[in-house]
């Protein structure tokens, strides 16, 4: 029991023996106990999404033997990148399970007509992504209702909206900190890849298809890679282009803390999260076209949000002015956090952990919502 305990401690602790236990010992042990799935287990439901690298369906189990977990599931049929996505989900499952949607199983399905596909199975977390919720006229009150289960009878207004946005931001940063502490950079953080988990009443990250695990060099710098231009940080590569191409796994494992400190690849996700913060504060920036226009404006201001504010504020619409007003509450603490996230230079951006300790998050008013977490 002691040996098993020690092994599982090593296995689950980020920063210890990266990748080694995963690959050899416990993957085998786990095989013996874990519920597995195969193609015939699933009945396909509604299509939830379709990208360049796969299709996502809501599915249910054909029959429900007692050994298999019941309930709604999500299936992604993925192309060649599916292998990496399975790897990332397995890592997350062990090291920071609460950060992401609950992953159940992944396997290679070779009997399909289209050739080999990777099938990935998650628990169905809920109907709405942050993108869906943000596009509602009711945002952020619709989120408050979901987090609290019922709508509070409090006066609506900036202060209350600010508290809801604070809560969402804290949940996002908390999930992101879990990933980053595990050595994973997501690289595709955007509202469409954040799901509201109805079970835990929190936001979780999904879609690790573009993620990189820097501790073992998996998907280190892919040659061909499509980033979502709406949310990407100015630096195109998460690691300096001078870093040699992916070293072999053991070398990468030894080097990665050093490389991480040199390149701060996690700051790439922080920039994207900063843009989500911006969209939550400014309804006018929630549409794709307006976000793209914002990115153009920002570039014209040498990627300096403070300069951007100076150019737009004097002739701002009431809607835009209201966003600034919200970020300016409590001596501008929200604006301060936002600017520390969307800096041009990755090195000058805050980390997820540092952002969580930012005074923006320790305002009294937060208590109304924070006890739910
Ligand atoms: P894609 O590569 O197509 O972007 P995603 O992993 O982002 O794949 O999934 C596509 C969509 O499927 C998401 O935007 C979300 O609406 C839905 N989805 C994915 N995973 C889950 C889940 N675990 N629970 C509920 N919905 C999910
Ligand atoms: Mg996605």
- Per-residue pLDDT of 317-332, as tens digits, reads 999 999 999 999 999 9
Separation of CA 279 and ligand 1 centre (Å): 21
The atom of ligand 1 lying closest to the CA of 50 is 3
Residue nearest to atom 6 of ligand 1 (CA): 207
| The predicted structure's pLDDT at residue 71 | 72
Among 231, 236, 223, smallest CA distance to 188 is for: 231
Mutational test site, ligand 1, from 44, 48, 81, max ligand atoms within 8 Å of CB? 48
Residue nearest to atom 17 of ligand 1 (CA): 48
Residue nearest to atom 4 of ligand 1 (CA): 51
Q: Point out the residues that are catalytic.
A: 188
| The predicted structure's pLDDT at residue 228 | 82
Separation of CA 151 and ligand 1 centre (Å): 27
Tens digit of each residue's pLDDT (9 = 90 or more) over 235-282: 866 655 455 555 566 666 666 777 777 778 899 999 999 999 999 999
Question: Relative to the alpha carbon of 89, which ligand is closest?
Answer: 1
The interface predicted TM-score of the complex, written ipTM, equals 0.99
The atom of ligand 1 lying closest to the CA of 193 is 7
Residue nearest to atom 14 of ligand 1 (CA): 192
The atom of ligand 1 lying closest to the CA of 132 is 16
Over the Cα atoms of the chain, what is R_g? 21
Mutational test site, ligand 1, from 132, 206, 226, max ligand atoms within 8 Å of CB? 206
| The predicted structure's pLDDT at residue 355 | 98
Tens digit of each residue's pLDDT (9 = 90 or more) over 183-217: 999 999 999 999 999 999 999 999 998 888 777 66
Separation of CA 155 and ligand 1 centre (Å): 34
Provide the mean pLDDT of the chain: 85
The atom of ligand 1 lying closest to the CA of 131 is 14
- At residue 27 the predicted structure's pLDDT band, cuts being 50, 70 and 90, is low
Ranking 55-59, 75-79, 153-157, 199-203 by mean pLDDT, the lowest is 153-157
Question: Relative to the alpha carbon of 190, which ligand is closest?
Answer: 2
| Bigger pLDDT: 280 vs 51 | 280
| The predicted structure's pLDDT at residue 65 | 59
| Nearest 10 degrees: Cα torsion 303, 306, 307, 312 | 110
Token pair belonging to 302 = 């040498």
The atom of ligand 1 lying closest to the CA of 78 is 2
> What is the reported pTM?
0.87
User: CA-based angle 43:45:51, to the nearest 5?
Assistant: 115
| Bigger pLDDT: 183 vs 306 | 306
Separation of CA 102 and ligand 1 centre (Å): 12
Separation of CA 193 and ligand 2 centre (Å): 5
Separation of CA 205 and ligand 2 centre (Å): 10
- At residue 366 the predicted structure's pLDDT band, cuts being 50, 70 and 90, is very low
Separation of CA 65 and ligand 2 centre (Å): 31
Question: Relative to the alpha carbon of 54, which ligand is closest?
Answer: 1
| The predicted structure's pLDDT at residue 162 | 95
Question: Relative to the alpha carbon of 126, which ligand is closest?
Answer: 1
Ligand 1 lining (C-beta closer than 6 Å): 48-51, 54, 56, 74, 76, 101, 122, 124-126, 129, 192-193, 195, 206-207, 209
């Amino acid at each position: 029991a002691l040996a098993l305990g020690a092994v599982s401690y090593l296995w689950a602790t980020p920063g210890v023996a990266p990748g080694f236990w995963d690959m050899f010992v416990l993957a085998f042990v786990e095989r013996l106990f874990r519920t597995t799935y195969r193609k015939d287990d699933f009945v396909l439901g509604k299509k939830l999404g379709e990208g360049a690298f796969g299709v996502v369906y809501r599915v249910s189990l054909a029959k429900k033997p007692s050994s298999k977990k019941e309930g709604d599931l999500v299936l992604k049929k993925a192309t060649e990148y599916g292998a990496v996505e399975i790897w990332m989900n397995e890592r997350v499952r062990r090291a920071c399970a609460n950060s992401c949607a609950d992953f159940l199983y992944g396997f290679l399905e070779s009997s399909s007509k289209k050739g080999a596909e990777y099938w990935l199975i998650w628990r169905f977390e809920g109907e709405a992504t942050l993108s869906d919720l943000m596009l509602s006229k009711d945002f952020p009150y619709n989120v408050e209702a979901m987090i609290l289960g019922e709508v509070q009878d409090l006066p609506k207004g900036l202060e209350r909206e600010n508290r809801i946005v604070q809560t969402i931001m804290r949940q996002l940063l908390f999930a992101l900190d879990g990933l980053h502490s595990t050595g994973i950079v997501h690289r595709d953080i955007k509202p469409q890849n954040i799901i509201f988990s109805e079970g835990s009443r929190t936001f979780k990250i999904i879609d690790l298809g573009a993620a990189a695990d820097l501790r073992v060099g998996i998907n280190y710098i892919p040659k061909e890679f499509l980033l979502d231009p709406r949310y990407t940080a100015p630096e195109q590569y998460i690691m300096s282009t001078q870093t040699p191409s992916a070293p072999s796994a053991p070398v990468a494992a030894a080097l990665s803390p050093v490389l991480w400190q040199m390149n701060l690849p996690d700051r790439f996700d922080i920039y994207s999260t900063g843009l989500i913060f911006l969209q939550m504060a400014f309804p006018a920036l929630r549409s794709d076209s307006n976000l793209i226009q914002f990115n153009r404006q920002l570039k014209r201001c040498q990627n300096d949000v403070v300069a951007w504010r100076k150019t737009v504020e004097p002739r701002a619409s009431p809607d835009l002015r209201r966003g600034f007003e919200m970020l300016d509450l409590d001596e501008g603490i929200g604006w301060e956090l936002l600017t520390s996230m969307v800096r041009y230079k990755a090195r000058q951006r805050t980390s997820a952990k540092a952002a969580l300790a930012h005074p923006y998050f320790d305002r009294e008013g937060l208590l109304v919502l924070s006890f739910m977490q």
